[in-house]
């Protein structure tokens, strides 16, 4: 199971590159080992073309290294905090993707003005607090913002995107969709004020999408 998750998490890092969500060594994906207090995450400071299942790092839910030749990503504490406090989460992704991070730099939530946003996020993509790396502040900010929120993505203020999912693939999908809608709504803003979608319609779209695809565990 650990070996399979090393492969999955390693492969998913290629999706961050494919969708142009990361620069240099920024960004990371992690995946919880089902039924264990363990998760697999990217090693710190290793370039994307050198990533493989063998250099992924296994950590416990306090973020301590359990198995691996490299030190874990510098964002490991944030991932660990999310896994400790959101037992339904099986995957976490972090990026500094351009358009979403531009909204984060302004501390502005992406308003729900596209049906694709209603489907995937069930409303706006919220902003989390400003938090410095080094302790649990980033993890706390993510959990405070996303607990009880439909959105699987949070824009951490002045920083970037964290997404969650039932597994790492769902979290990567949320990161890709987050950047996509952040870009579209940004472009829409250039020539005017995007039209809002009625809350009723947002609710209907979200319910339908979640039931049809059945991909999100309740939270």
Residues making contact with Zn ion (CB under 5 A):
160
Using alpha carbons, select from 76, 85, 10 the residue that is nearest to residue 48. Answer: 10
Annotated active-site residue in 75, 81, 119, 209: 119
Of 9 and 78, CB closest to Zn ion: 78
CA atoms of 170 and 153, how far apart (whole Å): 11
| Residue 213: active-site member | yes
Nearest CA to 207 out of 122, 95, 111 is that of 122
Minimum CB separation of residue 119 from Zn ion in Å reads: 27
Length of the chain: 219
Is residue 107 classed exposed, middle or buried when 0-12, 13-18 and 19+ CB atoms within 10 A define those classes? middle
> Residue 153 Cβ, how far from Zn ion at the closest point, in Å?
14
By beta-carbon proximity to Zn ion, the closer residue of 57 and 205 is: 57
209 is catalytic: no
Give which of 81, 215, 214, 205 is closest to 147, Cα–Cα: 81
Nearer to Zn ion, 85 or 158 (CB): 158
Considering the complex, what minimum distance in angstroms separates the CB of residue 35 from Zn ion? 29
User: Catalytic residue positions?
Assistant: 119, 213
């Amino acid at each position: 199971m650990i070996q399979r998750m090393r492969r999955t998490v390693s492969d998913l890092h290629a999706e961050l590159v494919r969708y142009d969500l990361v620069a240099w060594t920024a960004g990371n994906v992690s995946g919880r080992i089902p039924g264990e207090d363990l998760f697999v995450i990217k090693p710190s400071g290793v370039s994307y073309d050198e990533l493989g299942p063998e250099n992924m790092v296994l950590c416990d839910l306090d973020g301590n290294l359990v198995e691996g030749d490299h030190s874990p990503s510098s964002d490991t504490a944030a991932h660990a905090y999310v896994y400790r406090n959101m037992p339904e989460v099986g995957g976490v992704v972090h990026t500094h993707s351009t358009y979403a991070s531009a909204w984060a730099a302004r501390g502005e939530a992406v308003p729900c003005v596209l049906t694709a946003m209603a489907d995937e996020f069930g409303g706006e993509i919220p902003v989390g607090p400003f938090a410095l790396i080094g302790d649990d502040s980033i993890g706390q900010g993510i959990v405070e913002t996303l607990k009880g929120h439909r959105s699987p993505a949070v824009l951490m203020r002045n920083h970037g995107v964290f997404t969650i999912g039932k597994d790492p693939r769902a979290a990567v999908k949320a990161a890709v969709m987050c950047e996509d809608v952040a870009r579209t709504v940004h472009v829409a803003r250039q020539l005017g004020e995007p039209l809002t979608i009625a809350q009723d319609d947002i609710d209907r779209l979200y319910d339908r999408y979640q039931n049809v695809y059945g991909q999100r565990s309740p939270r």
